[in-house]
Amino acid sequence: MSEISTNTKIACNTINIEIQSLKLLEESLDHNFKKVIEVIHQSKGKVVVTGVGKSGIVAMKIAATLSSTGTPSFHIHAGDATHGDLGMVEKKDVVIGISKSGNSQEIKELIPFLKNNGNTIIGMTSNSNSFLAKQSDYLLYTPVDQEACPHDLAPTTSTTVQMVMGDALAMSLMELNDFKPHDFGQIHPSGTLGKKLNLKVVALLRDSKIPKVSFSSSFKEVIYEISEKRLGATVVEKNGGLCGLITDGDIRRVFEKNENISELIAADIMTKNPIKVKEDLLASRALKLMQAKKINHLVVIREDHTYLGIVHILDFINEGLDG
């Protein structure tokens, strides 16, 4: 068997082992999960997620996901907690402790302090008979038959199951909190994600480039306006109102179909009633509209229908909104 075939077999085996544990996780969800959701949702404090080793890394991810989906949360390392970090934990906070074995020494040392502090403790463990399971107010059981590691040592399956349980918590709470895309955008203002949730189409308009010709403009004047404004299109106006759009594609089709173009005017070439969008439309939604209609230009207008300019599909791509 080739080295590539062997590696592929190992990869498939790893994936299958983890899939089986996720199926066990799905089957194990019970009233405890529902109660945990209720407790966190009704809490007046934050959710504190803690663990050590790979479980500690998972705890960081879960805390980040909760915070970004409407449930205020933060992570503390179980080892650092008893060396001063407990000062960040308030009595009203709910604490989720994560440990595959449920018997990690750092967790054992932390639990008594949390109990004395009056915190609600949720244990996430694969061992329902462990110290963590027995000392917690609520148990999130994360069953693991075996790690994907061939020696059944390196945390692989167990961390996958923990992360999926964390996602299940976050998504359930997100629904309960009625957390909408607008809310998501408020706390994700940066990067491509922030642009998808916050960037308005008006921000894509190129300053001072507002191509327009009149209903009776000559063919030569149309070409000049499209070339000068470098947007590949121009709107057509009549009596002060917008009545059409001419794109570079329309120009090419005119050359293909007409031998005598010298007598043509804008009205002969334009597409009537072009698609228009309001300036406050999210750019991501405008892009979806363009993709659905298979067009490369959109006319942008104000609420009162005043013409503001044209956006080209490349304007969206340049902002990283092409996905």
- Tokens matching residue 317: 């791509």
In the sheet that holds 276-278, the strands lie side by side as 276-278, 297-301, 307-312
pLDDT tens for residues 241-296? 899 999 988 888 888 877 678 788 999 999 998 999 999 998 889 999 999 999 99
- Tokens matching residue 179: 């957390």
In the sheet that holds 47-51, the strands lie side by side as 73-77, 47-51, 94-98, 120-125, 138-141
Whether pTM > 0.75 for this model: the answer is no
Cα separation, 287 vs 220, in Å, equals 31
Cα separation, 88 vs 299, in Å, equals 52
Please give the pLDDT value at position 167: 97
Residues 6+ apart with CB under 8 A from 179: 69, 70
pLDDT tens for residues 116-170? 999 999 999 999 999 999 999 999 999 998 999 988 889 999 999 999 999 999 9
Instruction: Tell me which H or E stretch contains 233.
Output: strand 233-238
Q: Go through the chain and tell me how many residues it has.
A: 323
- Tokens matching residue 92: 């009203």
Report the amino acid identity of residue 223. I
| Largest distance between two CA atoms of the chain | 91
Q: Is the pLDDT of residue 318 over 70?
A: yes
Please give the pLDDT value at position 152: 86
Cα separation, 209 vs 310, in Å, equals 8
Domains of the chain, start order: 3-179 (3.40.50.10490), 201-318 (3.10.580.10)
- Residue tagged 């544990």 (tokens): 21
Average pLDDT over residues 74-88: 82
pLDDT tens for residues 3-23? 667 788 899 999 999 999 999
- Bridging pattern class, strands 120-125 and 73-77: unpaired
